[in-house]
Structure 1
């Protein structure tokens, strides 16, 4: 399975998902009709739900906007997908199967928790599948040595109060304010993109207009 996801192409992701969902979780009965495995959550085979994005605190991707990702961010999502599919989900399915065999399910803590966790995993898998399907992986190393700001740049800028800030422009699914990672569609990133060292750009905020001066631009080697 892992070999199937070694590439960055979307077809590999879709094929893996179809193999995992369409074939692994269903089988033909004696009448030649396909029926789903009794331990496969129905939530797992639904189309991705917009509510999944809200649940995971992920901003929706605006229509017509590409879901750019760095190679590192894309790999993290693939690793999580594989872990859920190959490790955590099978373990929970086994627990649910064992708990169900113990009789009354209404007061069976293992069964109730297992089913709840299974629904959570299935929602996460749907979310990851949707995001990976529309991902456009871009390696910022191609801009190494440039002083112009593009996706993947680490930028140090100074605001009009003389305060310096350093941010890295990453994908929507990679942003982490605590680590200084901002989404490329955020207002700050949009103000910075295409500017160069020593340029001053304008940032429109709810509190008014701010001017930011670019001090340094860096890309991974």
Structure 2
């Protein structure tokens, strides 16, 4: 069948990109105030700046005549679908977001959402991770999602505790050395 006669699907369930995993079933969408502000800023940028700019390009390209071979028109329509998909995703995530300020735990030695935890494993490797929301965690920055196995193992533990971490290679033991939270205002 000719490609011109096939319908592209614009699925509402798209996650807006590979960087953000789906929420666990029945789970809450915990997020820090900074993470919420970042997602909201991205949503407003897409709606107020990016989308109107692309709509303008598509309108101009459509006025040039033959749309079937018009690269500006075809690319613009594709980009509009991507922007709309991301807007839907961000809107849904922000609607169900539960903002949790980790600063309320400042000074605590127990691990809660938003903590930066330093631990040593049974092989002697020391690491620090910050436990954040699914939509804001960046592993390259030493941040893990609160649903990650290491975060689940650490949550509710205290400095000095040893917690088990199930891994594909077997059970590992993590000893918590330090727990820090952002300073309260």
Per the TM alignment, residue 109 of structure 1 is displaced from its structure 2 partner at its CA by: 1.3
Say which SS state the counterpart of residue 204 (structure 1) adopts.
strand
Taking the aligned partners of 1:162 and 1:172, their CA distance within structure 2 comes to: 28
Taking the aligned partners of 1:212 and 1:114, their CA distance within structure 2 comes to: 50
Aligned to 1:79: 41
Aligned to 2:5: none
Aligned to 2:179: 217
Q: Which of the two has greater helix per residue? A: 1
> What value does the CA root-mean-square deviation take over the aligned residues?
1.4
Q: For structure 1, which runs of at least 5 residues remain unmatched after alignment? A: 1-41
Q: For structure 2, which runs of at least 5 residues remain unmatched after alignment? A: 1-8
Per the TM alignment, residue 108 of structure 1 is displaced from its structure 2 partner at its CA by: 1.0
Alignment of 1:84-103 (within 5 A): 84-103=46-65
Check if 1:142 corresponds to 2:104. yes
Taking the aligned partners of 1:49 and 1:185, their CA distance within structure 2 comes to: 24
Aligned to 1:4: none
Say which SS state the counterpart of residue 137 (structure 2) adopts.
coil
Check if 1:122 corresponds to 2:84. yes
Output one character per residue of 1:9-55: Cα deviation in whole Å (capped at 9) or x when no partner: xxxxxxxxxxxxxxxxxxxxxxxxxxxxxxxxx95xxxx722x1274
Taking the aligned partners of 1:49 and 1:191, their CA distance within structure 2 comes to: 33
Check if 1:159 corresponds to 2:135. no
TM-score (norm 2): 0.91
Larger RCO of the pair (alpha carbons < 8 Å, separation 6+) = 2
Per the TM alignment, residue 174 of structure 1 is displaced from its structure 2 partner at its CA by: 1.1
Output one character per residue of 1:148-191: Cα deviation in whole Å (capped at 9) or x when no partner: 00000000000011110000000011121100110101110010
Aligned to 1:49: 12
Flag as ranges the 4+ runs of structure 1 deviating above 3 A: 54-57
TM-score (norm 1): 0.76
